[in-house]
Amino acid sequence: MERFETSTAEETRALGRQLAKDLAPGAILALVGDLGCGKTAFVKGVVDAFGDGEEVTSPTFTLVNEYAGTVPVYHFDVYRLDHPSVEECDWMDDYFFADGICLIEWADNIREVLPEHTVRIVFSKNPQKGEDYREIILC
Ligand SMILES: Nc1ncnc2c1ncn2[C@@H]1O[C@H](COP(=O)(O)OP(=O)(O)OP(=O)(O)O)[C@@H](O)[C@H]1O
Ligand SMILES: [Mg+2]
């Protein structure tokens, strides 16, 4: 387990850039945590590391956005899904088992279909430590 703390969105983005160095094609990161906890900020950092400068926008309606670059990054946001069946998630395998990096916001909504090698990153706030404080735990 690794634990990080950030106090600005830019720091969370920088953490994404830094941790991207340890990611190889095929990696799957489950990004877990409430609304506004910094999951997308973290994704921006990973796309900074691998992408070609394209701006990251949340794939809330499309479920997944693809960023081309030195390594493709597949950015999922499955906020709107509620434990769909394995069959309904079949299409995701094309991403999970491709030569890119999958980042999945709200991954607990589809935890039944996540591959075993998925790494979990939990984002949380702590109001006692200020509005912009975030704790980020990698399990
Ligand atoms: N330390 C921090 N890390 C990340 N974001 C922060 C931090 N402090 C403040 N913020 C603000 O919190 C918000 C985080 O938004 P972000 O879209 O990254 O969250 P999210 O977890 O993806 O939310 P959602 O579940 O709605 O997709 C932004 O408005 C950002 O400016
Ligand atoms: Mg988000």
The pLDDT tens digits of the residues spanning 75-125 come to: 999 999 999 999 999 999 999 999 999 999 999 999 999 999 999 999 999
CB distance 75 to ligand 1 below 6 Å: no
Record the tokens describing residue 101, joined without a space: 């990096």
The closest residue, in CA terms, to atom 24 on ligand 1 is 35
State in Å: Cα 3 to ligand 2 middle.
20
Task: Give the pLDDT of residue 60.
Answer: 83
State in Å: Cα 35 to ligand 2 middle.
7
Q: How far is CA 132 from CA 1, 56, 83, 113, 115, in A?
A: 23, 21, 31, 33, 32
Q: Of 83, 74, 136, which Cα lies nearest the Cα of 108?
A: 83
The three-state DSSP-derived secondary structure of 64-102 is EEEECECCCEEEEECCCCCCCCCHHHHHHHHHHCCCCEE
Task: Give the pLDDT of residue 124.
Answer: 98
Record the tokens describing residue 29, joined without a space: 């990161």
What pLDDT, in 10s, does the model give residues 1-22?
999 999 999 999 999 999 999 9
CB distance 134 to ligand 1 below 6 Å: yes
Task: Give the pLDDT of residue 48.
Answer: 98
Task: Give the pLDDT of residue 127.
Answer: 96
Domains, the chain, in order of start with CATH, read 2-138 (3.40.50.300)
Cβ neighbour number for residue 68 with a 10 Å cutoff: 12
Q: Is the pLDDT of residue 26 over 90?
A: yes
The closest residue, in CA terms, to atom 28 on ligand 1 is 36
Task: Give the pLDDT of residue 128.
Answer: 98
Record the tokens describing residue 133, joined without a space: 């404080």
Q: What is the dihedral of CA 89, 94, 76, 28, to 10 degrees?
A: 110
The CA distance from 18 to 76, in Å, is 20
